[in-house]
Every structure is written in C-alpha cells, then in structure tokens.
C-alpha cells in the first residue's frame, strides 16, 4: 500500500490531436496525506491523488458519464479541470468507489494554480526527507525560475557514473537517472536541482522529478487551457 505523499506514475496520455502519439509522457502523481474535499459536476467527492495529468477520487455515487468537471479550492481560489473517467472500481466500504480521472482541459488559470499547489506540497516533503550532509534543501530552489521558464525547449540532465551529462532535448522525455526541465538560462537553479537529486534516495529522486515536470508541463501547455 502506498503511504502518505508517495508518488506514482500517471498513465501515458494523449492530450489532444496536436500531441502526437510518440510525445506521450508519464508524469508523477502525489498521494495526498489528507484527502481534499472536491466536487465532480457539483457532487461531493474526495481527492486522493493529484498530478499534472490526472487525479484519483473517492465517491459515494455512481458516475453518470465518462466526462465531468472536477473542482476544488486552493488558497482562496478554485481549481477547475475538465476530466475524463479512465477507470472506476469499488472499495472495501459499501457504496464507495474510486475513480481515476484524466484531465482534458484547465479552465481559466487553473493550470497555473495546479502547478502552484503541487510545488507547494512537494517542497516541504523534499525538505523533510533531507538527511545526508551537504544535501541541498529544495526550499533553496527558486520555484518561479524552475517551473515558470520564459522560453520553450528542453534540457535533459542524466547522472552517469557520478557525472552529470547535459543534452538539449526536442521532446520532454524523463531519463531513468536524472530529469528533464524546460530550457532556461538560470544555471544556478539547475545546479541546485542536480545536487539535490544526487544526494537524494530513490523516493526523493521521484519527488525531484515531479518538481522538474512542473516546468515541462507549462512548456507543453498541460493541462491545456480553455
């Protein structure tokens, strides 16, 4: 069973006709330590997991269709995401179901709010996991620089035999050892991400990948705005 705040990979997803099949990517999802009250087409649900591509919810009513509007509050604002139901299964509690949702479109500035939410939740988890001397606290990394790049394109950083290899990437593929971010000029922030990744354990590295994926998601316009 996954513990609180543990990450998992979303299923690869084709977002729109403009996204080619070979550009499908896996993004991470964050398991929330406390379920968040949300609404699906106005009916109350519990948000259990959340990521850039989708979410997992618990609900006590049968779903009437394959699409819906998922909404939940964040910092005095409302995040509203059109979604598609990809799977539903019953839970051990009678009358309760869990469903996986795939986001198809963000309403208004909900894509920015979602990135802000994920960034704010991941940063303290990474900080709490810090244990080795010399590790870099994620709070030292400028999230606005890292996940709000001004220019598109991607940089891939691979850790091979203790050395970092940097390459330009046309597509935002995430390497097995390292991470990919949208291209920007702030080398200091990239250096901090690399040092934090190098000193982290396996789960910490997955958290850092999620942090880096927030940059990729904005450059890819995920989830797309209405």
For the chain, which residues make up each domain, given as ranges? 7-107, 112-219
Class in CATH terms, 7-107: mainly beta
By the 10 Å C-beta count (0-12 exposed, 13-18 middle, 19+ buried), 33 is classed as exposed
Look-up: residue for tokens 């049968």?
A: 62
Which H or E run includes 122? Answer: helix 110-128
pLDDT digits (tens, 9 = 90+) for 26-71: 578 899 989 999 999 999 999 999 998 899 999 998 887 889 999 9
Q: What is the pLDDT of residue 92?
A: 79
pLDDT digits (tens, 9 = 90+) for 136-184: 555 565 555 555 544 447 888 889 888 898 888 766 777 888 888 887 6
Sorting pLDDT into bands at 50, 70 and 90, what band is 3? Answer: very low
Residue 30 CA to residue 39 CA, distance in Å, equals 19
């Amino acid at each position: 069973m996954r513990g609180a705040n543990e990450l998992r990979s979303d299923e690869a997803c084709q977002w729109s006709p403009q996204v080619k099949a070979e550009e499908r990517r896996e993004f991470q999802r964050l398991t929330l330590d406390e379920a968040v009250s949300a609404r699906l087409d106005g009916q109350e649900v519990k948000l259990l997991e959340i990521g850039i591509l989708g979410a997992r919810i618990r609900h006590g009513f049968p779903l009437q269709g394959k699409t819906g509007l998922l909404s939940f509050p964040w910092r005095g604002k409302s995040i509203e995401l059109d979604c598609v139901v990809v799977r539903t299964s019953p839970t051990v509690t009678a009358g309760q179901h869990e469903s996986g949702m795939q986001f198809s479109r963000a309403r208004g500035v909900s894509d920015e709010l979602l990135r802000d939410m994920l960034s704010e939740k991941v940063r303290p988890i990474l900080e709490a996991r810090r244990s080795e001397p010399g590790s870099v606290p994620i709070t030292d990394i400028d999230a606005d620089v890292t996940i709000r790049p001004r220019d598109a394109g991607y940089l891939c950083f691979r850790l091979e035999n203790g050395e970092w290899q940097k390459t330009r990437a046309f597509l935002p593929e995430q390497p097995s050892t390292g991470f990919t971010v949208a291209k920007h000029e702030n080398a200091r922030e990239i250096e901090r991400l690399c040092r934090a990744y190098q000193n982290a354990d396996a789960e910490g590295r997955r958290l850092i990948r999620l942090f880096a994926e927030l940059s990729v998601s904005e450059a890819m316009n995920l989830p797309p705005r209405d």
